[in-house]
Structure 1
C-alpha cells in the first residue's frame, strides 16, 4: 500500500505539468516545473521506503526484545542446572569389569587432583606417571578459575589420572562460582564429525545439541549470549581421543577459534600428553595432573567405603566403613607392587572395587592386573565408542608375547626398531589391517607401554611385563621355563603370577630339589600366596621354618632358614632419591628370634612374652639394631645398613611405612639415632612435670628404700631448700637408653670426689652398682627397685652441685628420667615402637 500511494502522488504531479506550461510558457518555468516533478517523485518513493523500513525495524526490534526478555525471564537456566547436576552426579565407573550394586556420588569420593606447570614434553604418558615427590608447587584447578581474568588451560595427564573426573566435578562446582557460573562440558570425541562438516560451528550450537529434548527448549541464543557475556567455563575433554591426527588438528583449530570468538570465558582442555604435543592450542597454559599422594589415597579409600556404607544404612556409624578402608590400606602396605598403582586414580578405583566386592587383595592381584589390562586396552574405548582396529583379546595376546620375549632376553626396555620387529612378527598372525606402528601408537596412548626415553620403550610397570609373560607361559604351555629357573630371581614374580592361577607342584618340587636360598624362598612365597599345592609338599616347607625356631634346632638348619627368611624379607626394597634403597617392611619377631639364637643378647623391651611370629619386632635398642645389621650382612654377604632420616622421609618410602611410628637410624647420619616420623612427642620423651610427680609417688609408695637406710639423704631431700636445689636442674628430657650404662659408670667415678659427704659416696656407690645391671638389661627392673634408684639419684643431685660436679648432677637427672621411661615401658604405660628397617646403597 505504501508503494502504491507514492505512485499516485507522482501521477498527479505529472498531470499538473502541462497545465502549468500553458499558463507559464517561459522555458525556465518549464525547467522549474520539471524539477518540481522529480522532487515529488523522490518524495513519494522515499515516503514509501521509510514507511516500509519503519515497519521492518519495528518488527526486528520487537523480535529482539522478545528474545531478550525470553532469555532474561526463562526457566531454562534452572532446568539446565538441574540437568547438569543430575547427569554428572555419580562417579563414572563404566568399563570397569568389577562393579558393585551402587556407584558412589562423585561429591562423596572426589579427591581434588593437584596440578603443576609443565611443558608438554615433560608430562609422562605412562599409566603410573611420576611417583609423588615432595613438591610445594601443587595447585588446585580453582587457583586458575576463580579470578576475574579468564584463563585458557591445557590439562595433561596419563591415562586414568583423573582428567575427566576433574572436569565433571568442576562442572558441578561452577554453578556456585562468583565470576563465571555457567559450565559447558563437551566430550570432543562426540563432535568430530560435526566439526569436520562445519569448522565454524559454535560451541553454543554443539552444547545445545548434546542436551536432547532440553536443548530444544533453549531460548534462542541463550548459550551464545552467555558466552558473549563471559559467563561460562568451557570444559573440553579428551583431545587425544580424537583418533586421526588430521581430525585432531581440525578440532584443535576449532578450539582456538572458539577461544578467540568468546575471549571473556575460561576454557579448559584435557588430553593425554601424546595427543596434545602434535596439536597444541595457542595461548594455553599447560598444566600436568600430578599423581595421588598418600593423603589423597587415604582420603579416597575412606570416602569410597563411607559412601557405600551410608547408602546401605544412612544412620549407621562409619566405624565399619573405616575398618574396611583400613583393611585395604593395610593390604596395600604389605604389597609394594600394588601400592605403586595407587598413585593413579583409575587404578585406585579398580583396587577399591576388587577389594570391596571380591573380598581379597593382594591374593587376587592377578585378577586385578587382568582387569587393568582389559580396561586400558579396550574396555574404556568401547564405553566411549572409540574405534577398535584390533580386538582387546588380540592386543593382550600380542603384548603377552612381547613381554615373554623381554623376560627371556632379561631386559626391561626395547629399542623402537626391535619393538616394531617383535610386534610385527606376531601381528601378522592376528591382523592384516593393523601395522606395527599403529599398534605401538595405540598401546602407548593407553599407557601400558611407554616411551621412557627417546626410542626406548618399556611397560609402565615391570609387574605388567611379568604378569603378561606369565599369561603367555600358561597359554603356550611353557611351564618348563619356570621350572628351569627356580634359582633365578629374575623369574620369581612371573612364577608367582603363574602359580596364582595354576598348581605349584612342579615349581615347589624343583625348589626343594634345588635346596638353594632363592629356590626355597620362592617355594615359601608360593605357599604364602595360597597357590594350589600337594599336602606333603606344604608340610615339608612348614617344617623348614618351624623346626628352625626350636631351641634344639640343628645349627645348619637354623642358618638355612634364617637366610631364606631374610632373603625373602629384603626383597621389599623401595628406591629413594640418590642411590639408596629402603626395605619398607620392619624386621619380624621370627627373624629377630633366629638372630638371637645365633647372637646371644638381651631380648627387646616388651611388657608381654616374646613370641617369634611375623609381626614387627618392637623395642630393640640401638646397639641391638646395629648388631642385627652385622648379622644380616654376614648371612647374606650383603652391605645393608640402617636407613637415614632423609631416606625414611622420602615420599616413596613414607607411603609404604605409614604404620611405622619409629625406627633406628644410621648412627653416622643422626645426632640421636631414632626416627620418630611425624609424632608430636618423641617416644623417649620424659617431661619435667612427670619427673616431679614421680618423686612424690615414689616416696608415697615405698617410703625410705633399703638403699638409703641410715643416711642423711631423705632428710636433705625433704628439706625445702635442698629439694628445690635437686629439682632446679630438671628439664624435659629425651632419654638415650643406650647411653645409660656409660653414664652410670661415669657417675660411679665422680661420686668418689664428694669428699665432704661420706654418706653421698656410700649412696653413690650403691646406686651405681644397683643401676648398672638394670641399664645393661641383665636384671629386671621392679617397681620397688625403680623407686629406690630414683630417690637415691635425686638425693645425690644437690650434693653433686655443692661439690661443683654440675655434669654429674645432670647425668643423675638423666638416669632418673631413664628409670621413669624404663618402668613405664615395662608396665605398658609408654609406647614401645622402635622398629628395625634396613637400607642398602
Structure 2
C-alpha cells in the first residue's frame, strides 16, 4: 500500500480548520483507502512534534515533521501570518515554501470571515494580505472561504480531486480491481461518507472546553410517537405500521416541536440501515440503502420552479464523491425486489418560502409514486406544514407526532449521556470535571428535577421550591433542553431553577463564553449584546416575522446599538452574531434566529424592560391577551418569569375588570395557569383583591 504525507500548515488562529483538515484526511481514508491502496497521513505539529532543544524552533519542527518528505500541503490563513523564522515571515510560510520548491502540490485557503476587533494584530493581518497577493502573482489558485463549515465543504471536494489527480493510478499499478459492480462500489463510498457524517453528536463546549463528541448510538433512547387520540407507540413500531400495516404507504410525515429530536431520530434510522441493523424496521428487506438530504439545501429548477429529481439532489449534496446522476439512479431497488431505499428528508419547516414548501410536497408525492420500494420519511415542525395554506402532501401518507419524554426516558437518557461524556473525557486525556461516577452525576441531576422521586436524598423542598421545580420539569421533557441541562451540570455543576434561568445562561455562553475561550470575542459585553438583539426580536415578533433581510435587521438594531458604550461597529457585531454565536443564521437571502424560541425569549427580555418604565405597556399586553392572531404564548411565558410583583399585579388589575369577556379566559386557561406558575414573585395581592370585588362577573371568580 502506498503512503502519502499531507502537511497541514497554518498559524495558531485557525485551530478549528486544522482539525477539520485532519478529519477530512481520515474521512478520505475511510472512503477510498482499500480501493485505491493509498493511505493519506496527516502531518501536524500537534501530532508529530515533541519538546527538544536545538538551533531554532522552526528548524526543529522542520526536522521532526520531516517537512521535506511531505507529499502535499494544505495551507490555512486568517488574521495571523505567524512567528517570523530565519527565512520567512512565519513558520507556515516557510513550510509551504519548502514544498513549493520541491514541486509538491500546494493548496492554499484564506478565511474571508471578518476578523475580531478585540485583540487583533493589524500588522499580522496586513502580512496575510501581502502573502496572499504574492501567491496570486506567482500564479497560485488560492481559495477563500466564509466560515469553518464552508471550509469543510470546499476542502472535502478539493482534497478528493487533488489526491485523485496527483496520487491515484489505474489498476495496472498493481492494486487489486474491485470485484463489485460499479454502481454498488460507488454506493459503498457514499454509505461510508454518510456514516462519517451521522455517527457523532457534537455538544458545544463551555469556557475552556472544546466540543464534546459523542457517538449517536451511545446516547440514543427509544422515543415515543403520538398517534391519534393520544395513543403512543415506539419509533420502531411506527415504521412497521407505516410501511407494512393494514393500510401501508411509503411516505411518513414526522411532526415535532423545536428540540423534540426529529433530526436525531432520522440519524438513528439511517445508522441502523447503514450498519445492516435494519431487520426490525424492514423485516423483508435483504438490504436497505439510505439517502439523507436536508430540505433547505434542495436544488431547484429555476424555470419550472420545482426541485430537481432525487438522483440529481444526491449528486449536488455530496459533491466530494463526484457522482453522476446515472450512477445514483442505479442504486434504486427494482419494484418488488428484496432491497429497499430509505429516503430521509429533514426540515420542511426550514424552507422559508411557502411556495417552495408546497413545491417540495408535490415533489415528494411524485418521487414516492415512482417506486414503492423507496420509503420516504419527512420531518417538520407544526408551523412548517399547513394544509390551510396548501402546504401538504396530497398522496397517500401517514402522519405522526413525536411525544415529550416521560420520566423514565429522561432518567435513561441522562445515564447514557453522562457515561458517554465521561468516556470522551477519558479518551481525550481531559481533566474530569467531576470525580463522581457518571451514574451518580445523572442520578443527582434527575433527583434535582424530580425531588419527589428521591425521598432518600434528604433534600427538603418547600412548596415554593416545588413550584419552581415544576417549571424545570416542563423543560426536561424536551430532549434538546434536557441535553443542555446535562452539559451545563457536568461542566459547571449548574442546576437551573426555571426555563428562564437556563436560557439566560445559554445566551451568556453563546454571546461571550465560547468565543472568549477561543480569544475571538468582540469588545462588547453579553448584556449589551442581548439588549440590542432583544430590540430586534421584539420588532420581529410585533411584525409576526421569522425572516428579515440584513438591512432590515440592522435598521431595527441601529438606534439601540448606538446607545451602547462599545468600539465595535454594527457591521462587526452582525457578522459575529451570524458567523460565530449561533444566534442568527442565514436563510436564503434573509436571516432568522437559529431557533424560534431564541426570538421568543429575547422578545420577552425587551417586553420586561419596557414594563419597568411604562404601565401603559402592561395595558397593551392585556388588550392582546385574547387575540388569537397574536400567537405570543411562548413569549408571554418567558415574560411573566421575569417581571416584578407590581407589574404582575398591574396585569391582573387590568385583566379582571367589570364586564370582562370570560370567554377570553376560557380559551387561555392553560396559558393563565402557566403564567401564574412562572411569575417571578408569585404575587397574590391583585388576585385577592379581585376575589373581594363585587363587580367582577361570577364566572370570572372560578378563573381567579
TM category (shorter chain) comes to: 0.3 to 0.5
The alignment's TM-score, normalised by the length of structure 2, stands at 0.45
Name which one, 1 or 2, has greater alpha-carbon Rg: 1
Higher helix proportion (structure 1 or 2): 1
Higher strand proportion (structure 1 or 2): 2
